[in-house]
Amino acid sequence: MLKREFQEIYGKINLLMKKALENSAHPYRTFSLASLDKEMPKLRTVVLREFSFENFFLDCHSDIRSPKVIEFKKNNKFSALFYSSEEKIQLRFNGKVEIFHNNSITKKRWKFITPSSRRCYMGPFSPSDHLEEYHSNIPENVKFENPSKKESDKGYENFVVIRCHFDELDYLKLKYSGHLRCKLIFENKNINGVWLAP
């Protein structure tokens, strides 16, 4: 049971993440996701696609051929960073990634991906491939029009859900009267909180 003093913070984060899922302009709609490429940290921006405080995870979508997926398969540790200058709240989640490919979760998610977005998974090249010359990595026949359902289903083969199971959340709220910082720890369905020096 989360101590009362942390419940307000938990509620606030839950609300902000829900808003981010509903509103594509929300500052938490995108976040920086870090993996480890051998010994080297690597960051990239991704879009928040799902968030669950009940089951301690957040999701983004990607292409199975992308370096990040290959990196996470070798080392599944992640860090995810959100910041809202409006709220002056930074969130840093840490934990382990699970990659879903061609299963019931990806099938369900694929149904809600628009034809235009499906084109991103239909590229002839693996994301981050070195190219001899510029290429948009969108097949020529769908560059200026949406693919048919049958055409876009080719993209499904490359589509993955990256599920970030978090076990820690570092919360920082900037305030003139003194910043507020705490860590929420997620373990065996329980959440504990501890104050941190800002």
Nearest approach, Cβ of 104 to ligand FMN (angstroms)?
21
Nearest approach, Cβ of 55 to ligand FMN (angstroms)?
20
Told to check if 177 binds ligand FMN by CB under 6 A, we report no
Contact 27, 86 (CB under 8 A): yes
Q: Using CB under 6 A as the criterion, what x/- string covers residues 1-30 for binding ligand FMN?
A: -----------------------------x
Told to check if 184 binds ligand FMN by CB under 6 A, we report no
Single out the residue of 23, 24, 102, 128 in contact with ligand FMN (rule: CB under 6 A): 128
Single out the residue of 14, 66, 94, 117 in contact with ligand FMN (rule: CB under 6 A): 66
Nearest approach, Cβ of 197 to ligand FMN (angstroms)?
32
Residues paired with residue 170 on neighbouring β-strands, in sequence order: 92, 183
CB-based contacts of 32, cutoff 8 Å, min separation 6 = 43, 44, 45, 46, 80, 81
What span, in angstroms and rounded, lies between the C-alpha atoms of 74 and 173? 34
Give whole-number Cα distances, 96 to 72, 82, 128, in Å: 9, 17, 23
Place of tokens 């913070």: 9
Single out the residue of 18, 26, 44, 179 in contact with ligand FMN (rule: CB under 6 A): 44
Told to check if 60 binds ligand FMN by CB under 6 A, we report yes
Single out the residue of 22, 45, 114, 132 in contact with ligand FMN (rule: CB under 6 A): 45
Give whole-number Cα distances, 99 to 69, 82, 125, in Å: 8, 21, 21
Told to check if 127 binds ligand FMN by CB under 6 A, we report yes
Structure tokens at 88: 């002056």
**Number of chain positions touching ligand FMN (CB under 6 A):** 14
Nearest approach, Cβ of 89 to ligand FMN (angstroms)?
20
Provide the pairing of β-strand 180-187 with 159-173. Answer: antiparallel
Contact 121, 155 (CB under 8 A): yes
Contact 136, 143 (CB under 8 A): yes
Residues near ligand FMN, by CB under 6 A: 30, 42, 44-47, 60-62, 66-68, 127-128
